[in-house]
């Protein structure tokens, strides 16, 4: 039997250059089975056939664990008596499959008949089988069942075969967990078909848009598309155009206010969706076309409707799903303008009670105004996963399903809807049995979340007690509340941009002192690292001037910009120094790409300090100065920089984009962006080595710190300080507690040896399965 510490043979993990490896090809084929089969039984049936063929096994079977009866039931088989499916049942303490379930670990045996746990079933034609290899099927840390292969010949399955089986079980576990639920629901839906009454329960299938489950009374929003206004203008073209200009101005004001309020609610990244709405209003081509129609005698409202509809046709003819969805933004802008001209009404109903909102479509503005404490779910006919309305629904954590045809006709006021935002299924007036099944499913998730909550006050450690510091990053004022709530060890990345972005002039030093002291107070006696301004690229406050650049991410951003407006840097450094006596404070500088930049920052820092000490008449407490490694050139020259700073910080989001030459915000190349690409991991390893040589601490901030695979690799590479969104801290704690330091190091080695980010992830999952984690 394999122990948790046996390394997986590297060759079994790699996709060879000549073509996909056996593992990869089998996983691809299973993926195909999953997408083309109908129902759980068919999927599992095809899967066992495929595994048996690829692994030249005489038998391949899947047993599922039936929780209520605590039994393992044979669910699919290739090679055993097909009539035994559904009939063979064992308790979790019986047989070899019971042992795999009990131990949650693989079992590989040459001769089963000698094993004390072997149980003989006369009805299933198992007699001639000697060798056995079984692996658990695990999802949400719960063992769902067992996948096993058997051969007549007495032999030990090779490590490669065992690895393949683990990889397959990882791939199919998530599917099985969902399929069990869906299967149950389909059976319930079948029962529904049999006894339909006047107001029939119904099961509708759409596209999952935002995860989670909701069950509430329906709220129907009927008119959501633009209606065509009257053609003829009631006033002169000049007056129509003046009214149009007023509508544009009011719309701009309204959108700016919406961006501000949304920034505070869901963060600036999602709020930035509405920047594109401002761009339409500033687009001379768009406005000019409307004005030309007005000059020909059309009313402003008709002209807007006509131009918007015309553009929409173009958007809808596009192949690209992302671009297609951008039409909804234009329609939204058109509706807003028409509302300011007095020809359209606000679309949203009063949200005075809880409900599931049903509409043909929702615009981004409609969605932004939803109150998630009232609107528990969203169901629409139109709107894909990448629409801005969908992105906002996910940020607001409202379960949503789209793509249901003739939706409004199929739902009545008074109906109750159960929305499953994960599978895309909507039940109209679900019977109790269906609701109960969902409650059970939700409970499993909630139990897991409660387990995470229990970890809050525990320090983060690996299984063998190696302490890892998990810090929070803070981008919005309300993130401060999360620091203690999720048990962070401090704040290692305080993004200071927000105080500049949501205003019409830069904050004064006194105002900054006020903001920063709130952060130090929220951290208590724990560390707070303020990062100096990272403006430019996608962060441009309207009152500061920025050039128009072809490649803003490679251009005038971050410390480059701040050094050119050095009053911004001086004000920040002074405010940070002034709050230093309140707690443990440090400062770090983003996007350094030249040594001179660092020298200049240090010079300004020394001057600010001297100035304040002179004014205050005494020495200020120590404030450590660090730099962020986000540019590959600085990584390659890291020894030089490390000698100049008190600590090193890795900004993995930017380091990934610059190492891979992949714009982190560009949906066209999103599939190429992965911080687990070995090239990025090599950069990180190099920085860790530098920090050791220099005797300086090193921390990593960036999305990969909270990535389920990323956090393990980072610890294995040698990092002991990670910074992430605070709500993810318990998840990372749970993850790290499942492995020893040595296991994370094995994992990091495999990651560095892999050929791509996708391989790294696949290999890690296999490793974890092998470790039973
Ligand atoms: C990073 O680049 O990884 C980082 C932490 O900074 P930001 O995401 O703010 O650019
Ligand atoms: Mg960055």
Give the ligand with the smallest distance to the CA of 700.
1
Residue 654 CA to ligand 2 centre (angstroms): 5
Which stretch of 346-355, 392-401, 633-642 has the lowest confidence by average pLDDT?
Answer: 346-355
- C-alpha 573/C-alpha 591 separation (Å) is 17
Which ligand is the nearest neighbour of the Cα of 665? 1
Among 317-321, 344-348, 401-405, which range has the highest average pLDDT? 401-405
- CB 475 less than 6 A from any atom of ligand 1: no
In 426-523, alpha helices (H): 432-454, 479-485, 498-501, 509-523
Q: Is the dihedral of CA 748, 752, 756, 759 positive or negative?
A: negative
Does ligand 1 come within 6 angstroms of the Cβ of 654? yes
- State the distance from the centre of ligand 2 to the C-alpha of 657, rounded, in angstroms: 10
For residue 701 and ligand 1, the question of a CB distance below 6 A is answered with yes
Query: How far is the centre of ligand 2, averaged over its atoms, from the C-alpha of 750 (Å)?
Result: 27
Q: How far is CA 671 from CA 324, 404, 471, 651, 730, in A?
A: 19, 28, 28, 20, 28
> Does ligand 1 lie within 6 Å of residue 630's CB atom?
yes
Q: What pLDDT does residue 681 have?
A: 98
Q: Which numbered ligand comes closest to the C-alpha of 538?
A: 1
Report helix, strand or coil for 488: coil
Is the CB of residue 689 less than 8 Å from the CB of residue 656? no
The tokens for 46 are 């095809």
Q: How far, in Å, CA of 154 to CA of 132, rounded?
A: 9
Nearest atom within ligand 1 for CA of residue 590: 6
Least confident of 125-139, 579-593, 638-652: 125-139
> DSSP letters along 725-771, please?
EGGGHHHHHHHHTTS-HHHHHHHHHHHHHSSSHHHHHHHHHHHHHHH
Decide the pairing of beta strands 89-91 and 71-78.
Answer: antiparallel
Ligand sitting nearest the alpha carbon of 655: 1
In this prediction, residues 538-545 reach a mean pLDDT of 79
Q: Which tops the pLDDT comparison, 370 or 527? A: 527
Whole-number Å distance, alpha carbon 707 to ligand 1 midpoint, is 15
Mutate to test the pocket of ligand 1, among 475, 654, 680, 710 (most ligand atoms within 8 A of CB): 654
Q: Ligand 1 centre and the CA of 496: distance in Å?
A: 12
Per-residue pLDDT tens digits for 672-704: 999 999 999 999 999 999 999 999 999 999 989
Mean pLDDT across 467-493 = 89
> What is the reported pLDDT for 95?
83
Backbone angles phi, psi at 377, to 5 degrees: -160, 160
Q: Summarize the confidence of residues 41-61 as an average pLDDT.
A: 88
Atom of ligand 1 nearest to the CA of 652: 3
The pLDDT tens digits for 267-318 are 776 787 788 888 889 888 899 999 999 999 999 999 999 999 988 888 777 7
Helix, strand or coil, per DSSP, at residue 624? strand
Beta carbon of 675 within 6 Å of any ligand 1 atom: no
Over the chain, what is the mean pLDDT? 85
Query: 491, 492, 495: which to mutate for ligand 1, most atoms within 8 A of CB?
Result: 495
Q: What's the CA gap between 117 and 96, in Å, rounded?
A: 6
Residue 322 has pLDDT above 90, yes or no: no
User: Which atom of ligand 1 is nearest the CA belonging to 703?
Assistant: 3
Ligand 2 centroid to Cα of residue 541, in Å, is 18
Whose C-alpha lies nearest to ligand 1, atom 6?
Answer: 651
pLDDT above 80 (res 526) = yes
Does residue 98 carry a pLDDT above 90?
no
Closest-CA residue, ligand 1 atom 8, reads 653
pTM of the predicted model, to two decimals? Answer: 0.58
Average pLDDT on 168-197 reads 64
Closest ligand to C-alpha of residue 475 is 1
Assess whether pLDDT exceeds 70 at residue 4.
no
The finding on whether 702 has its CB within 6 A of some atom of ligand 1 is yes
Residue 366: which pLDDT band, with cuts at 50, 70 and 90?
confident
How many Å lie between the centroid of ligand 1 and the Cα of residue 261?
23
**Cα 635 to ligand 2 centre (Å):** 14
Residue 200 pLDDT class (50, 70, 90 cuts) = low
Q: What is the number of the ligand 1 atom nearest to the C-alpha of 657?
A: 2
pLDDT category of residue 3 using cuts at 50, 70 and 90: very low
Q: How far is CA 722 from the centre of its chain?
A: 18
Measured from the CB, is residue 270 less than 6 Å from ligand 1?
no
Write b or e for each residue in 591-627: b if 16 or more Cβ atoms lie within 10 A of its Cβ, otherwise e: bbbeeebbeebeebbeebbeebeeeeeeeeeebbbbb
493 CA closest ligand 1 atom index: 5
Whether ligand 1 lies within 6 angstroms of the CB of 632 is answered as no
Element (H, E) at 38: none
Q: What sign has the CA pseudo-torsion 630, 633, 636, 637?
A: negative
* Structure-token pair, residue 658: 């610059």
pLDDT (mean) for 472-477: 83
Mean pLDDT confidence for 445-464:
83
**CA distance linking residue 748 with residue 10, whole number of Å:** 12
pLDDT band at 574 (very low <50, low <70, confident <90, very high): very high
Give first-to-last CA distance, the chain, whole Å: 17
CA of 482 to the centre of ligand 1 (A): 19
Task: Give helix 710-717 / helix 757-771 axis angle, nearest 10°.
Answer: 90
Quote the ligand 2 centre to 679 CA distance (angstroms). Answer: 18
Q: Which ligand is nearest to the CA of 495?
A: 1
* d(CA 599, ligand 2 centre) in Å: 20
Supply the pLDDT for residue 247: 94
- Give residue 1's pLDDT: 33
Give the number of other CB atoms < 10 A from CB of residue 510.
10
Q: In the chain, what percentage of residues exceed pLDDT 70?
A: 89
Could you give the CA distance from residue 773 to residue 483 in angstroms, rounded to a whole number?
27
| pLDDT, tens digit (0-9, with 9 covering 90-100), for 714-749 | 999 999 999 998 878 998 999 999 999 999 999 999
Ligand 1: atom nearest CA of 654 is 2
Mean pLDDT along residues 63-68: 83
Q: Average of pLDDT values for 61-89?
A: 86
């Amino acid at each position: 039997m394999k122990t948790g510490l046996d390394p997986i043979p590297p060759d079994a993990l790699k996709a060879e250059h000549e073509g996909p490896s056996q593992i990869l090809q089998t996983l691809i084929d299973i993926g195909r089975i999953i997408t083309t089969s109908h129902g759980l039984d068919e999927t599992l049936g095809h899967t066992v056939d495929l595994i048996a063929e690829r692994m030249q096994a005489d038998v391949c079977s899947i047993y599922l664990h039936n929780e209520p009866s605590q039994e393992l039931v044979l669910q699919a088989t290739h090679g055993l008596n097909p009539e035994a499916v559904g009939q063979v049942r064992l308790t979790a303490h019986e047989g070899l499959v019971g042992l795999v379930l009990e131990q949650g670990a693989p079992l590989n045996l040459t001769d089963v008949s000698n094993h004390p746990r072997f149980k003989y079933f006369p009805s299933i034609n198992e007699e001639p089988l000697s060798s056995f290899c079984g692996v658990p099927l695990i999802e949400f840390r719960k063992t769902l069942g067992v996948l096993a292969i058997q051969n007549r010949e007495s032999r030990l399955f090779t490590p490669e075969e065992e690895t393949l089986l683990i990889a397959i079980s990882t791939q199919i576990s998530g599917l099985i967990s969902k399929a069990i639920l869906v299967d149950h629901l389909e059976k319930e839906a079948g029962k529904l078909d049999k006894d339909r009454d006047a107001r029939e329960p119904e099961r509708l299938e759409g596209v999952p848009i935002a995860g989670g489950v909701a069950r509430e009374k329906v709220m129907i929003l009927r008119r959501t598309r633009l209606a065509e206004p009257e053609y003829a203008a009631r006033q002169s073209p000049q007056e129509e155009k003046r009214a149009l200009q007023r509508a544009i101005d009011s719309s701009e004001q309204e959108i700016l206010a919406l961006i501000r309020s949304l920034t505070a609610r869901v963060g600036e990244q999602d709020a930035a969706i509405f920047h594109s709405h401002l761009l339409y209003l500033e687009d001379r081509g768009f406005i000019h076309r409307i004005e030309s129609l007005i000059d020909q005698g059309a009313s402003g409202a008709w002209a807007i409707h006509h131009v918007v509809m015309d553009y929409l046709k173009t958007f809808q003819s596009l192949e690209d799903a992302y671009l297609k969805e951008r039409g909804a933004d234009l329609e939204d802008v058109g509706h807003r303008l028409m509302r300011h001209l007095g020809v359209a009404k606000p679309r949203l109903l009063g949200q005075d009670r809880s409900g599931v909102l049903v509409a043909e479509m929702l615009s981004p503005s409609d969605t932004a105004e939803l109150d998630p404490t009232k609107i528990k779910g969203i169901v629409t006919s139109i709107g894909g996963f990448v629409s801005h309305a969908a992105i906002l629904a996910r940020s607001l954590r409202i379960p949503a399903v789209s793509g249901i045809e003739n939706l409004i006709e199929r739902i009545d006021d008074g109906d109750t809807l159960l929305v499953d935002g994960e599978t895309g299924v909507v039940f109209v007036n679900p019977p109790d049995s269906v609701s109960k099944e969902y409650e059970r499913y939700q409970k499993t998730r909630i139990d897991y979340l409660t387990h995470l909550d229990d970890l809050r006050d525990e320090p983060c450690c690996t299984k063998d007690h190696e302490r890892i510091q998990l810090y929070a990053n803070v981008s919005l004022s309300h993130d401060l509340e999360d620091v203690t709530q999720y048990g962070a060890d401090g704040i290692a990345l305080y993004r200071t941009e927000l105080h500049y972005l949501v205003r019409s002039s830069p904050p004064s030093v006194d105002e900054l002192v006020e903001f920063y002291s709130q952060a130090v107070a929220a951290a208590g006696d724990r560390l707070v690292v303020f990062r100096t301004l990272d403006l430019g690229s996608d962060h441009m406050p309207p009152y500061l001037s920025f050039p128009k650049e072809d490649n803003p991410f490679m251009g005038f951003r971050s410390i480059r910009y701040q050094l050119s407006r050095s009053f911004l840097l001086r004000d920040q450094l002074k405010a940070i120094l002034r709050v230093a006596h309140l707690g443990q404070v440090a400062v770090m500088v983003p996007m350094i790409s030249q040594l001179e930049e660092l020298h200049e920052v240090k010079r300004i820092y020394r001057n600010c300090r001297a100035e304040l000490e002179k004014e205050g008449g005494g020495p200020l407490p120590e404030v450590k100065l660090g730099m962020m490694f986000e540019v590959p050139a600085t990584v390659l020259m890291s020894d030089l920089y490390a000698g100049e700073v008190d600590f090193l910080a890795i900004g993995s989001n930017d380091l990934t984009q610059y190492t891979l030459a992949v714009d982190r915000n560009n949906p066209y190349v999103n599939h190429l962006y992965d911080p687990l690409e070995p090239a990025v991991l090599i950069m990180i390893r190099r920085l860790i080595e530098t920090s050791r040589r220099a005797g300086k601490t090193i921390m990593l901030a960036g999305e990969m710190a909270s990535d389920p695979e990323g956090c393990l690799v980072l610890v294995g590479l040698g990092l002991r300080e990670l910074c992430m969104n605070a709500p993810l801290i318990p998840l990372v704690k749970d993850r790290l507690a499942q492995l020893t330091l040595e296991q994370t190091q094995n994992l990091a080695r495999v990651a560095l040896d892999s050929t791509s980010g996708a391989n790294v992830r696949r290999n890690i999952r296999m490793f974890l399965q092998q470790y039973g984690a």
